[in-house]
């Protein structure tokens, strides 16, 4: 298991939620496919929404990864990385998806780098370890010493009303 940047973990979870939301309950695969096709077409034509999650959504069903270890290493830094190297670690199958891959490499390489890694993490959740951000985990070592007694007035508050200037 490898740790990934928290933003990549977040984006991967968001992608999962987006896919589930588009599929619906019960799953409507035709609606899902129309949405994916529309996004792929937009990005292939050089347009599309400049959003990591939307781009990852367009990529996730078409992308193939040929260097999982390299992508995991790239997932350690969200902001900075070598976009060309990430593009070389994956490819898209299908004519329009391949056009999309080329178009995003030219028009939005840094955003596409993040989307490729997000799609990879989504498709391979067992290869990486997500930090537990639950309230229980975040409060595990909290002994409450940062909570002030709400009934007591702080010195700053009390001095606001000190007429003698002491």
Query: According to the model, what pLDDT value does residue 166 have?
Result: 57
Looking at the domain assignment, is residue 127 inside a domain?
Answer: yes
- Out of 18-27, 75-84, 96-105, the most confident range is 96-105
Looking at the domain assignment, is residue 163 inside a domain?
Answer: no
Looking at the domain assignment, is residue 89 inside a domain?
Answer: yes
**How many domains does one find in the chain?**
1
Looking at the domain assignment, is residue 120 inside a domain?
Answer: yes
Residue of 130, 121, 2 whose CA lies nearest to 53: 121
Looking at the domain assignment, is residue 70 inside a domain?
Answer: yes
Query: According to the model, what pLDDT value does residue 49 have?
Result: 86
Strand partners of residue 2:
128
Looking at the domain assignment, is residue 104 inside a domain?
Answer: yes
At 134, the pLDDT band (50, 70, 90 cuts) reads: very low
The residue segments making up the domain with residue 31 are 2-133
Strand partners of residue 3:
129
Place of tokens 């390489």: 109
Q: For the residues of 122-134, what is the DSSP string, one character each?
A: HH-GGGEE----S
Looking at the domain assignment, is residue 17 inside a domain?
Answer: yes
- What's the CA gap between 98 and 63, in Å, rounded? 9
Name the pTM for this structure: 0.75
Looking at the domain assignment, is residue 69 inside a domain?
Answer: yes
Place of tokens 């999650």: 53
Collapsed DSSP state (helix, strand, coil) of residue 24: coil
């Amino acid at each position: 298991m490898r740790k990934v940047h928290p933003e990549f973990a977040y984006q991967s979870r968001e992608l999962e939620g987006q896919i589930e939301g588009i599929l619906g309950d019960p799953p409507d695969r035709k609606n899902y496919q129309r949405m994916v096709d529309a996004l792929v077409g937009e990005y292939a034509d050089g347009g599309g929404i400049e959003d990591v999650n939307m781009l990852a959504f367009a990529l996730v069903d078409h992308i193939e990864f040929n260097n999982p270890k390299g992508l995991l290493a790239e997932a350690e830094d969200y902001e900075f990385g070598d976009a060309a190297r990430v593009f070389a670690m994956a490819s898209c199958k299908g004519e329009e998806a391949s056009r999309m891959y080329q178009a995003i490499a030219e028009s939005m390489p840094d955003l596409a780098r993040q989307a490729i890694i997000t799609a990879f993490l989504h498709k391979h959740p067992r290869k990486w370890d997500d930090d537990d951000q639950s309230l229980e985990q975040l409060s595990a070592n909290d002994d409450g010493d940062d909570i002030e007694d709400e009934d007591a007035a702080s010195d700053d508050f009390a001095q606001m009303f000190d007429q003698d200037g002491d």
